[in-house]
Structure 1
Amino acid sequence: MGILLALIPALGWGVQPLIARKVGGSPTNQVLGTGMGAVAVGLMVGLFAGSVHGLNFWLSFAAGFLWAWGEVGQFVAFTRIGVTRTMPISTGLQIVGTSLIGVLIFGEWAGTMARLLGTVAIVLVVAGVALTAITDTRTTGQSSLVSGLAILVPTTLGYWAYSALPKTIHAAGIHLFFPEMLGIFIGALVYTLWQTKGRAFTEPASWGNGLIGLVFGLSSLAYIFAAQAAGIATVFVITQLSVVVSTLGAIFILHERKSPRELRLTVSGLILIVVGSILTATL
């Protein structure tokens, strides 16, 4: 049952970029829609399952708030380098960053063998990211890649915080859910007010992109129950298939162009990223 539940976030998180590109709108519309949809799911869960309080509430809230800024980076990067390059790079940065935080702050990968395998895993992920970033259009491709990395690298700090902060809280994931989703909404709201002074609320694209938040919220909820049933390590590995779903979906559904060589390199890179993530989950 846990394996089947884990397929929900693997698919849901994978289709989010496809929904964003199909619905359209600016990154502001997309992040606002994500926040509105996420907090709607969070409110329902909070009413029935309850929530943490005090410092734990604010730590969970901060995790969601910072995640929203990570999502801003992805949405902006979609417009600069496309989904097929953004998602592998973003996923790779997340895996490497969260793994290093786990080792340096939380004492994970104890023992020489674990650290050796962890290092191999990170090298595989970095190599996979490098392969997906290669383009045959040298001048334009390199300049757009630099532009994409300029937004992805700093905003990925938000994703790292979203992964790390809940580890400091000794409570069931379901009780962290509402403050995290509320944090996502407030983060999206702050970004919207900064970028458009609130105009995005009146734009249909913002409400259409609410589907992204609903999918994210329900997928995250499924992840919690899947982890309880099958274990975090197993579920984490399965959910990494989301990068395969989003990247291949962008090629075959969004029709993002790839030369035969670029396609071979992208698929090879995805395999390395997934293998690397499997190694990190088994340590």
Structure 2
Amino acid sequence: MSIHLLFLALIPALGWGMMPILSKIMGGKSEEQLIGTTIAALLFGLIFSLTQQVTYQLSVFIICFLSGAFWAVGQYFQFRALEKAEVSKAMPISVGTQLAFVTLVSGIFLLEWTSVFVALLSILALAVILVGVLLVTKTSKGKGAVAKQVILFLCISSAFLMLYVTITSYFGIHGVQVFLPQSIGMFGGGIIISMKKINQLRLKAITRNIVTGSSWVIANTTLFAISSSLGVGVTYSFSQMSLLVATYGSIILLREKKTAGEKRSVYFGTLVYVVGVIGMSLLK
């Protein structure tokens, strides 16, 4: 992996790591956060498509549209989870489950595991990553663990976010053709999900969360730009350094409280997590 690709691979980590923090700062209901985010994505998709004069095949458009719709469902459930849990507790679980789903699917169905040896090393690296996630989310005795409903929301979220990432690569779609139809699918999915509460949504909260969406746009654009060079499994796993940004960012910016023991667990857990992610990226 070149230094150039290394730095590009870190940009999605920064964008996705800041996204849940920004959603907390901007506030609003899950539906308002979702629509605000998708507006930012749609604006980018429209501007990019018009300036680059991108042409589309119908089949490509439909697949990318579905990718965006899958994202809308996944992101909605992540926002629901974040309503009920701190960023530093929810996001490591979200990142860990996303990594598990994407790594297994990209290895088995996208044929990124070129041999049994590579498959075994990938699974070993994934196990190390999940151990790191467990350490980061460890709580002191007497403190409330993450609620089962939050874990359920995060698992549903990760399943759909996995589909959003892998479906375009499964059909060999990369680069400039992805952004507009994907953003239309995101916006359409967000509107459908929010339909029951559409009259309760506040324009001010939606507008504020366009900032949240801008963070996602930066991450997503970079991810899809480099996935054809590094592979989905490696690119996506490397981008999940977002766990570090979300965990430490929430403690610093959102002032989420940790005991001394929990801080030690976070420090050690993130170190283990980084070792696992680097190991997985080196398999490329």
Task: State if a TM-score over 0.5 links the two structures.
Answer: yes
Q: 1:145 aligns with which of 117, 124, 147?
A: 147
Cα offset, 1:211, TM superposition: 1.0
Stretch of structure 1 that moved more, 30-39 or 261-270: 261-270
| 1:218-270 alpha-carbon deviations (Å, 9 max, x no partner) | 33223344557x74587556533222111100001101111111122123222
Runs of 4+ in 1 over 6 A off after TM superposition: none
CA distance in 2, matches of 1:106, 1:172: 14
Opposite residue 273 of structure 2, the aligned amino acid is: I
Counterpart-to-counterpart distance in 2, 1:150 and 1:227: 29
Q: For structure 1, which segment, 1-10 or 36-45, has the greater mean C-alpha deviation from structure 2 after superposition? A: 1-10
TM-score by length of 2: 0.89
Which residue in 2 is equivalent to 1:130? Answer: 134
Identity %: 27
1:270 matched to 2:270: yes
Residues in 2 aligned to 1:23 and 1:167: alpha-carbon distance in whole angstroms: 33
> Does the C-alpha gap of structure 1 residues 120 and 3 become closer, same or farther in structure 2, counting only changes over 3 Å?
closer
Match of 1:241 in 2: 241
Contact 1:84 1:250 in 2 (8 A): yes
Q: CA deviation at 1:40?
A: 0.7
Report if the CA contact (8 A) 1:125-1:272 is conserved.
yes
- Distance change in 2, residues 1:123/1:181 (3 Å): same
TM-score normalised according to structure 1 size: 0.89
In the alignment, what sits opposite 2:175?
Answer: 173
Alignment of 1:160-239 (within 5 A): 160-194=162-196, 196-200=197-201, 202-226=202-226, 231-232=230-231, 236=236, 238-239=238-239
1: CA distance, partners of 2:58 / 2:170: 14
Question: Could you tell me how far 1:166 is from its partner in structure 2?
Answer: 0.7
The aligned counterpart of 1:32 is: 35
The CA deviation at 1:275 is: 2.5
8 Å Cα contact 1:236-1:281 kept in structure 2 = no
Count of aligned pairs = 278
Query: Structure 1 residues 51 and 158 mapped into 2: Cα distance closer, same or farther (>3 Å)?
Result: farther
Aligned mates of 1:72, 1:111 — CA distance in 2: 36
Deviations 1:25-66 (A, max 9, x none): 111111111111111111111212315321221111111111
- Does the Cα contact within 8 Å between 1:18 and 1:249 map onto a contact in 2? yes
- Measure, in 2, the Cα distance between the counterparts of 1:156 and 1:224: 18
Contact 1:11/1:242 (CA < 8 Å) preserved in 2?
Answer: yes
> Which residue number in structure 2 is paired with residue 20 of structure 1?
23
Q: Contact 1:89/1:132 (CA < 8 Å) preserved in 2?
A: no
CA contact (8 A) 2:68 2:164 kept: yes
Q: State the one-letter code of the partner of 1:34.
A: T
Equivalent residue letter for 2:71: W
- Alignment partner, residue 156 of structure 1: 158
- Residues 12 and 187 (structure 1), Cα distance of their counterparts in 2 relative to 1, 3 Å cut: same
For residue 104 of structure 1, report the CA deviation from its aligned partner.
2.5
Instruction: Give, in angstroms, the shift of residue 132 of structure 1.
Output: 2.2
Q: Which runs of 5+ in 1 are unaligned?
A: none
Letter in 1 for 2:147: L
Aligned twin of 1:112: 116
Report if aligned partners of 2:110, 2:170 keep a CA contact under 8 Å in 1: no
Unaligned runs of 5+ residues in structure 2 are none
